Structure 1
Amino acid sequence: MASSNITLFKDLNIQMSDFILKGRVICLWRQPVNKRPLETDSIELILLDTQGYKIQATVLNQYVSEFKRYLRERLCLQISNAKLGSNNGNQKFCDNPYKVSFLADTKVTICEDIGDIKHFKLVSVKDIEHYKLPTDLSLGS
């Protein structure tokens, strides 16, 4: 598809049903089933677009085998026929108000690299000491 058909993450809105996304997987992790930590509920991803905007995506366990070859950090993906919903979770890993869900008819292809995009949000030590952290900031342990 031509790049003019690509929707940037910042331009998404909840009314959209027909969109094509392009982004690099910058982080992914397995989300275990509640109270059964050895079972996988979903694979969660953070995608980065060419403008440096991020969005969280979810691949439910029932679809993991279908998309497994695409679930690798640093891969650049083109995604269509996915579902867009509100990101209402308790833990938000990026500042996008929406979240992408992969469905049975979601189309994913590996595409050309989007280049080196800066995506770190720097916070001063003073703000950390005074608990003035952005609400969308996740700290690793």
Structure 2
Amino acid sequence: MFRAVDAFQERFSVKVRVIRVWEHPERRNPSQLYSFDMILMDEEGTKMEATCLNRVLPQFRPSLVEKKCLIIRNPTIGFNNSTYRYVDNQNRLCFQGTTEVIPCEDIGGSPYGFDFLSFADLLNSNGISNSTVDVIGYLVRSFPKETVTNKLTGKQAVKVTIEISDLEGRTVFLTLWDQYCDKVLSFFESIKGKNIHAIIILQFGKVKWWNGVAYVNNSYTVSRLFCNHDCPEVDEFRNRQ
């Protein structure tokens, strides 16, 4: 279990599910891979970020697949000193050349590792730390798509803001950029003219406040966006109405 390990522990094993994976490029040479990063979840639902440097990645890459359950033997634990954490955990797991990765039986729990923050807590700034949040709600409305130009680089990005509601009528705004914007607009087009209540999930979103209003933004390419996804969490939310 993650809660039982720290940076001073040697030769330990953890049983986990791979929740999210992404590539981390070299800062000075973005075309080169620096590391393969991920979010892992143990049997108790505790999450931890993990890093596998490119030099040792080939021996582990086939096993590092989202939803897959693994036993990881002899990794190391270090302090997660990043100013931008994706989970609320001060530690980070690191793969070494001597680390072993073994597929194992399903550890249970959500294959996506959802941990939804209530809108009441979000709007009251409770339960929000230097990490990301998961939110789920019914689509209320969508605002027009916008193109934004970075004044320093001249690079353009597209975004769309949507409003979602919980079952008590509280609403939260989501701002979705680039590929997330394209995905949700494509979904809207697919249900246009149909009597469908859309349920939206944004996982690993970052809360930002603007003029006293909370907006949940996607976190680079680590966030996941689900639109009427076929999963138990969506069914449960719909059945609670």
- Name the TM-score, length of structure 2 as normaliser: 0.51
Q: Tell me which amino acid in the other structure corresponds to 1:85.
A: G
Structure 1 position 79 matched with structure 2 position 85: no
Match of 1:134 in 2: 129
Please list the CA deviations of residues 80-103 of structure 1 after superposition, one character each: whole Å capped at 9, or x if unmatched.
111111111122111121111101
Match of 1:48 in 2: 41
Equivalent of 2:31 in 33, 38, 44 = 38
Distance 1:127 1:119, change over 3 A: closer
Equivalent of 1:90 in 83, 86, 99 = 83
Please list the CA deviations of residues 35-76 of structure 1 after superposition, one character each: whole Å capped at 9, or x if unmatched.
322211000011111111001110000011111111110110
Query: Aligned equivalents of 2:131 and 2:115: distance in 1?
Result: 12
Q: Is the 8 A contact 2:39 2:50 kept in 1?
A: yes
Q: Is the 8 A contact 1:21 1:79 kept in 2?
A: yes
Structure 1 position 66 matched with structure 2 position 27: no
Distance 1:38 1:115, change over 3 A: same
Q: Tell me which amino acid in the other structure corresponds to 2:34.
A: D
Shift of 1:27: 0.3
Q: Is the 8 A contact 1:10 1:96 kept in 2?
A: no
Q: Is the 8 A contact 1:41 1:60 kept in 2?
A: yes
SS at match of 1:69: helix
SS at match of 1:62: coil
Number of equivalences: 133
Q: Is the 8 A contact 2:7 2:76 kept in 1?
A: no
Distance 1:123 1:35, change over 3 A: farther
Query: Aligned equivalents of 2:101 and 2:119: distance in 1?
Result: 38
Query: Aligned equivalents of 1:44 and 1:57: distance in 2?
Result: 6
- Name the TM-score, length of structure 1 as normaliser: 0.85
Match of 2:7 in 1: 14
Distance 1:33 1:125, change over 3 A: farther
Q: Which has the higher contact order (CA 8 A, sep 6+)?
A: 1
Which structure 1 segments of 5+ residues have no match? 1-7
SS at match of 1:42: strand
Equivalent of 2:92 in 69, 77, 99 = 99
Q: Is the 8 A contact 1:52 1:119 kept in 2?
A: no
Which structure 2 segments of 5+ residues have no match? 133-203, 206-217, 220-241
